[in-house]
Amino acid sequence: MKGRVVITGGGTGGHLKVAKAFIDEFYKRGTPAIFIGSTSGQDRTWFENDRKLKKAIFLDTKGVVNKNILGKVSSLFKIAKEVNHCLNIFDTADVQTVISVGGFSAAPATFASILSYGCKLYIHEQNSKMGKLNELTSKFATEVFSSYLEKSKVKDYPVSSEFFDNARVREKIETIIFLGGSQGAVAINNYALSIAKKLDDLSINIIHQTGKNDFQRVKQEYEKLGINADVFDFTDDISKKMSKADFAISRSGASTLWELSANALPALFIPYPYAAKDHQYYNAKFLKDKKLCFICREKNLTSQVIDKILTCDVNSISRGLVDSINCDAIESLVDIIIENNQ
């Protein structure tokens, strides 16, 4: 493959999981990549000490969305400054391929790839609704990959093999896992506590990811109820937690949604109501249209919702999820990129 590969983007776990999938695959093929991210967000935590990288570079950039006028101008000025920095990096390292996984962290390297002669841009869009940066730059990309776009050459989402390895077809609901993501979701936490006694009376086990900020409160509430739930704030072994469950109640960020699908774990998705373009709802709707999940808005969460879940055909949904995603997505994506860059 000609030249060095840059993988850029991040800010949040969803973007960074896809970045890691690309990093690991290129390393496996003997081509350690350069990662370009931001000093803001979670980028440094994920990749500062990643030995599979040729180099990790973190730029002084921040997001533009949800900022006032002065904030937007300041963010755009920093991005413009770092574009020039990226052009120098590309020239020095002979970068000919840039893979953007989205998020504000991707902006400088993505724009630099467009301005750099002979450099090819590839975009991976995680969500059903394209982010602002990807929307703006996709017309310059050699390929845009997405699980939701019909024109994408690879429709499968890059999910770690551990979720497939721990997959099983569910027969009945004996354990429910509540997932609010690494940051947690108070609405999901409160809903879990409101139905916990009902689940316990039915001998249904509870696994609950609370997020760091709400861990102590939720743990204490289960103790008050006398329920021996598996409560944790964050874990690196989430695939093993999923594999123990027969049903999930979860946010519908793209990574979590496809990890659950890879694990063949049926789910009720509760979309984050303030997600850009309501993309979490549309992520889940993609599966719901195939009768492979349930969706409920936060404001509509009631005890009747769980009654419907407990009587669903969990086996049929689980079997359908097995066929919803293939395990070789990242290999297929990298195959296309390498073929285009011979």
Number of helical (H) and strand (E) elements in the chain, helices listed first: 14, 12
* Residue ranges of E strands in the chain: 4-8, 34-38, 55-59, 95-100, 120-125, 143-146, 175-179, 205-209, 230-232, 247-250, 267-269, 294-295
Asked if residue 324 belongs to a known ligand binding site, the reply is no
Q: Which one-letter DSSP state was computed for residue 276?
A: G
Asked if residue 127 belongs to a known ligand binding site, the reply is yes
Asked if residue 66 belongs to a known ligand binding site, the reply is no
Asked if residue 326 belongs to a known ligand binding site, the reply is no
* Burial group, residue 212, by CB count within 10 angstroms (0-12, 13-18, 19+): exposed
Rounded to the nearest 10 degrees, the angle between the axes of helix 69-93 and helix 107-115 is 50
* Burial group, residue 203, by CB count within 10 angstroms (0-12, 13-18, 19+): exposed
Cβ burial 281-306 (10 Å sphere, 16+ → b, else e)? bbbbbbbbeeebbbbbeeeebeeebb
Contact 197, 225 (CB under 8 A): yes
Asked if residue 40 belongs to a known ligand binding site, the reply is no
Give the integer Cα–Cα distance in Å for 6 and 140: 16
Return the H-helix or E-strand segment holding 9.
none
Asked if residue 38 belongs to a known ligand binding site, the reply is no
> Rg for the chain (alpha carbons), in Å?
21
The annotation places the binding site at 12-14, 127, 182, 280
Q: Which residues are annotated as a binding site for UDP-N-acetyl-alpha-D-glucosamine?
A: 12-14, 127, 182, 280
